[in-house]
Amino acid sequence: MYPGSKMIIYAPLLSYIPFTFATPFQSFYPRYAPTLTNLSENVCNETLALLEGVNYSPDNAPSYADQLVYCYGHENCMLAHLPAAYLANYQAAAVIMGLTPTILASLGPSVAETSLLSAHRPLLSFLISLGAPAVYPTRVFEFTDPYSVLRHKEHVLKLPLLGTRSAIICSVLEYMFALAAAASIILTSAQLGSKTILVWACTNQTMPLIWTFLSTVIHIGAALSYKIALNSSRRRNHGCQSTKPRGSESSARKGTLHRISDLLRSEFRICALRKQLHAHKLEDPPSVAVLLSSFAGVGGFWHVVFGTIIFSSLAFISVFEFLNFVFWRYILAAAVCRLILMVELTGLRAVQRRFEQQANGGSTSITISEVK
């Protein structure tokens, strides 16, 4: 049996996703691209022909398992003919890449921070979770009340008072930079997968991109947990009874449009201009919310582990290429999203302090509704 075929047994389940952007070994990062292209197309042309299936008809195409074996054969042929200096460079790059998810996690937002922001600006919170691809680790199996975020780091950043026009410009800039960061992360991850080879899933080119989107799943789960906890607290505080609006269907539609308009205004208004918060301290969160939050904490831990496994297993990328085409883009995008998050959380802390001053140092609980 060909030695590389043993990887079929041990590769994680995701490695069997038969989706790729292009045939492997067709594109490389520029520094060593001429050498790698020559090895792939000329020196190892026989294994490349097997991988591309040029000698097979559509009715007799190789199976996915065969393609995986051929892919490992072609990879081994190229590695066997690479100079020792190139191999040493690739090994050094693997060490640096393996540390990248942990480094990004130190810049990434925690699930408590994005959950708190999602209660006020869910779209911006989603873009931040996508633009910062690693989740800041929290205690596993513990529920962290997002409201506690307002009690920390009160003096990290102080924002000047903004007028209406300046606040609109600030909000537009936040979305522009968050979108740019998210787009940069997606394009960089897609390029990383297409220009390298994952040693334990040779034909799969989507792993860096899958890892990137998994962070949003973790943040969405945490935000849903916080939403459930807030709704449960609202029902306890105001009772479970609800009154249906009376009137015609047209007035009901107007009410729906009014709510949509309020949601849009809330989404595009910076947090520093709010009169009250949608959030408050959670006294007794329901079990479902605690369970979802615990899963988010576990997910954040395994997300870093999974990223370490992926990044440390990428071949045919040197230290220079990783630092110039991947690493700084990840760091810059994560730093931009972190700055946007700090601005919004600082605004929420300012709203909280104003409310407590108006209440003459009364209860720290904050009304859930927002002044229209």
Domain limits of the chain?
A: 83-236+263-358
Half-sphere exposure of 322 (CA within 13 A, CB side): 22
Report the alpha-carbon distance of residue 123 to residue 198 in Å, rounded: 33
Q: Which residue has the tokens 């595009």?
A: 268
The C-alpha atoms of residue 124 and residue 220 are separated, in whole angstroms, by 12
What token pair was written down for 366?
A: 């904050």
| pLDDT score recorded for residue 22 | 56
How high is the pLDDT of residue 158? Answer: 65
Residue entry with tokens 């449009």: 257
pLDDT at site 91? 94
What is the rounded distance in angstroms from the CA atom of residue 59 to the CA atom of residue 75?
26
The confidence score (pLDDT) of residue 14 equals 42
Locate tokens 């939403």: which residue?
227
Q: Report d(CA 31, CA 81) in Å as an integer.
A: 17
Report whether 337 contacts 178 (CB < 8 A): yes
Local structure of 300: helix, strand or coil: helix
Q: Phi and psi dihedrals of 348, rounded to 5?
A: -65, -40
Residues 6+ positions from 201 with CB-CB distance below 8 Å: 7, 11, 12, 14, 15, 16, 68, 207
* 3-state SS assignment for residue 314: strand
pLDDT at 249: 52
Cα 214 to chain center, whole Å? 6
CB-count exposure of residue 357 (10 Å: 0-12, 13-18, 19+): exposed
pTM score above 0.85? no
| Residue ranges of the chain with per-residue pLDDT less than 70 | 1-22, 54-62, 152-163, 237-255, 276, 278-280, 359-372
Tokens encoding 84:
């020792």
Nearest to 341, CA basis, from 166, 149, 183, 155:
149
CA distance 155 to 326: 33
